[in-house]
Amino acid sequence: MSDKSGSKVMTTKEAISKFVNDGDSLITGNYNESMPMSLLFEIIRQKKRGLTYYSQSGSFDGEFMAYSGCMEKMVSAFIYKWGGSKRGGIIEQYQRAGKIQVEDYTNFTYNARLAAGAFGYSYLPVLPAIMDSDVFKIRGFMGDKKFGVTTCPFTGKKTPVVPAANPDVCVLHVQRADKFGNAQHWGGLGSTVHACLASKIIIVSCEEIVEPDIIKSSPHHTIVPGFRVSAVIEEPFGCHPFEIVGFRGLDTAMFSLINQAFKIDGGMDAFFDEWIYGLSDRASYIQHYIEVFGQDMLSRYNARSYYSAPANYGIPFQSGWDINGISNDIGVDMEGLEALIAEKGELVDVN
């Protein structure tokens, strides 16, 4: 039996302390949207150190991971300078000062490393234009192993390749999951599926834990199967201030506050003390938000429902027998079957 069978429901604190170790490589599964902020805040609170952090998208998660001191190395495809053009970004400052190392990929080559990891390949071809780019030519801590070049055995063409990435831990926030970890997510998926499936441990937080029946009637929304998941946490607002389709939009009020924190002296320390270190969990974070901004502000970003048309997964027979108890193919009831077995079956004596 898999060590990942059965219920995996636990708290954010438990999941992070159990599954994230100093020196791990850690990836944020979500791409720009529904970022797993509750899980990342807990990693910061638990002061994990020496992490290699994979984050594709240039959101402030990377800046936070650098500023917290959790992150030693970063792999990314886009880095936004949250402090603005004058002050610069935290990742930028730390990289220039040699406090962290950053390896730059493009969105596709970053994703291709995870796809290779997810498929179990050791490398994957990428698009040849990259060979003319300094993203290919200039190497950071990956050195010779950032990219390779191979020859296609069929066309003879030189083909750039990337090595597989298999992060130790993936943190992910989704709309819903069951207790087994079957996780459903919809919206701008980016490289989320490959990020999850490439990783050894997957921690899922979700807006709601639902009955397995809900999952079974909408399997097209399941992006990670339960047998790959190590922890499931019901964490409403787990991605706040980021949006999550069907629940709420990006909270621009909170984003303004974070933007300010990046741009004033002492702003980051104050923000970390007030919103991360000073609050024990997500519930108290949301409580604090309501105290500061008011319930009205929080509710302002609620999604107005727009339901997907249900897909009809119906089939004609629910077993080998129809609703009257008659076999679908032989045309007899159970008694009739036993009579046929006695008459025509190749009987075997096992007593």
Partner 1 sequence: MLTKKITRQELLIIAASRQIQNGDVSILGIGLPIIAGAVAKKTHAPEAVLMMESGICDFEPRVLPMHVADASATRGYGYATDLFSVFSTITYAGYLDKAFLGVGQIDKFGNINTSYLGTPPEAPRISAAGGAPEFYGYAKKTILTMKGGQFVNKLPYLTSPGYLGGGSEREDSGRYTPGSGPSILLTPKGIFKFDEETKEMYLDALFPGVPVETVKADVPWDLKVADNLGSFPVPTDEEIKALREFSPRASFSSPVAVQLVFENFKRRIAAKKAAQKAAQK
Positions that interact with partner 1 (CB under 8 A): 31-33, 57-59, 76-81, 88-89, 91-92, 95-96, 98, 101-102, 104-108, 111-112, 115, 127-135, 138, 140, 157, 186-194, 243-245, 249-250, 252-253, 255-256, 294, 296-297, 303, 306
Q: Minimum distance between the CB of residue 316 and partner 1, rounded to whole angstroms? A: 29
250, two tokens: 């990006």
Q: Between 10 and 164, name the residue whose CB sits nearer to partner 1.
A: 164
CA distance 244 to 178: 18
Rank residues 9 and 245 by Cβ distance to partner 1 and give the closer one: 245
CB of 12 to partner 1, least distance (A): 23
**Distances in Å between the alpha carbon of 52 and those of 35, 49, 78, 196, 343?**
18, 9, 16, 16, 69
CB of 177 or CB of 197, closer to partner 1:
197
Least distance CB 191 / partner 1 (angstroms):
5
For partner 1, which is the closer residue by CB, 297 or 337? 297
Q: Which residues lie closer than 8 Å to 21 by C-beta, 6 or more apart?
A: 48, 168
| Nearer residue to partner 1 within complex by CB, 88 or 225 | 88
Q: How far is the CB of 132 from partner 1 (least distance, A)?
A: 4
Task: State in angstroms the smallest separation of the CB of 50 from partner 1.
Answer: 18
